[in-house]
Amino acid sequence: MSTWPADPRQIADPFGEQAPLALSRSHVVMGAAVDFVSDSADLLALADRAYAGLPAPACDGPPLTVELRLTPGGNRFDDAPPAARMLGGAGLLGAAVDGDHLALINPAAGRALVQVTTALLRWPYHLRYELIEFAVFTLVARARRLAALHAGAVGLAGRGVLVMGASGAGKSTLAAQAMALGLELLTEDAAFVEPDTLLAVGVPNFLHLRCDSVDVLDDAPLQARLRASPVIERRSGVRKFELDLRQAGGLTTAGPLRLEHLVFASPEPAGAGGLLQRLSADETRARLHTSQPYAAGQPGWSAVLAGCARLHGWALRRGRSPQEGALALRSLLMG
């Protein structure tokens, strides 16, 4: 009977875990210090693309570590790489494109690994958004025990409005117009909430707006900046401008924002009833629970739900222009 390894001298590091990671960066993400270590300048550049130059709130807790490892070869992906599949078990969380490209997160240890081949460098948006940013969001949220919500958030003087709605409800357009009116943008579609305090944090790095939605904005300079931005293509096939808020003079905030209002955006026209419709505590709680299936299954959700039921809940119908909706958000924050 043979044993493994047959000759240990030939397999001194079978998992490649001793490969040197000589390059490093540190960024502050949602109130956490994150150390990126890598063997690849290209992978570190993608981390910088996502997190360099963000407004940096004070950090609490020990730093988290994200390893970015690059190996040669791999599937060339002449078309866009397959969507990553979520996986988890034994205290680990992750996403895998295939056997060569994956992200693994160990929240208890405060560490994450993104392992890819040089072939995926041809698809920098997918690599950055679906593996690197996924790993960082998941690690920080779990390490800091934040509730991850599919929602945008805008604020004024530390007060915040959380904006929810199904994909296509116009959250990004509303966020863009709100920023043009002087509100601070915390995030367009991924807000993270502390269950006990209802303070919201996010990553105000990019604003993604459909290429066919730019003309409806009532702000010519913002339209020009969007049209000069790179175009990305979502898995749905929708093409969007990716506006870098750190380089475009956008009004952003590091947070946290103290949530005071929950707004549920609807495609329903406003009509004679006006844009904003006040919701009861029960309606607010029911809509929030229904709109957040992922967060509803996570620890701390009952505290989030109970706290949010005490906030002001609103249904926001669609106005004749995004400016009307943005003015409604501003009126809530100035009230």
- The number of helices, as runs of H, and strands, as runs of E, in the chain is 9, 19
Q: Is the pLDDT of residue 87 over 80?
A: yes
Tokens (6 digits) for 265: 């955006």
- Which of the four pLDDT bands, split at 50, 70 and 90, describes residue 165? confident
The CATH number given to 148-334 is: 3.40.50
Cβ of 105: how many Cβ atoms within 10 Å?
29
CA-wise closest residue to 29 among 163, 118, 131, 139 = 139
- Which of the four pLDDT bands, split at 50, 70 and 90, describes residue 325? very high
Q: How far is CA 334 from the centre of its chain?
A: 27
Supply the mean pLDDT for the chain. 90
- Which of the four pLDDT bands, split at 50, 70 and 90, describes residue 86? very high
Place of tokens 């175009």: 231
If you average pLDDT over residues 40-57, what whole number do you get? Answer: 93
Percent of all residues in the chain with a pLDDT value above 90, rounded to a whole number: 69
Tokens (6 digits) for 236: 């749905």
∠ at Cα 33 (158, 104), nearest 5°? Answer: 115
Higher-pLDDT residue of 154, 16: 154
Question: 191: phi > 0 → left, psi -120 to 50 → alpha, else beta; which?
Answer: beta
Whether 197 contacts 239, CB under 8 Å: no
Percent of all residues in the chain with a pLDDT value above 70, rounded to a whole number: 95
* pTM beyond cutoff 0.85: yes
Question: 245: phi > 0 → left, psi -120 to 50 → alpha, else beta; which?
Answer: alpha
Higher-pLDDT residue of 135, 270: 135
User: Cis before residue 256, ω within 30 degrees of 0?
Assistant: yes
How, if at all, do strands 312-318 and 257-269 pair?
Answer: parallel
- For residues 161-190, one letter each, b for 16 or more C-beta atoms within 10 angstroms of the residue's C-beta and e for the rest, the string is bbbbbeeebbbbbbbbbbbbeebbbbbbbb
pLDDT of the residue at 15:
82
CATH 3.40.50 maps onto the chain at 148-334
Q: Is the pLDDT of residue 324 over 70?
A: yes
Whether 114 contacts 130, CB under 8 Å: no
DSSP string, 223-287: HHHHHTS-EEE-TTS-EEEEEETTTTT--B----EEEEEEEEEEEEE-GGG-SEEEE-HHHHHHH
If you average pLDDT over residues 173-178, what whole number do you get? Answer: 91
Q: Is the pLDDT of residue 55 over 90?
A: no
pLDDT of the residue at 189:
87
Higher-pLDDT residue of 246, 109: 109
pLDDT tens track for 117-163: 999 999 999 999 999 999 999 999 999 999 999 999 999 999 999 99
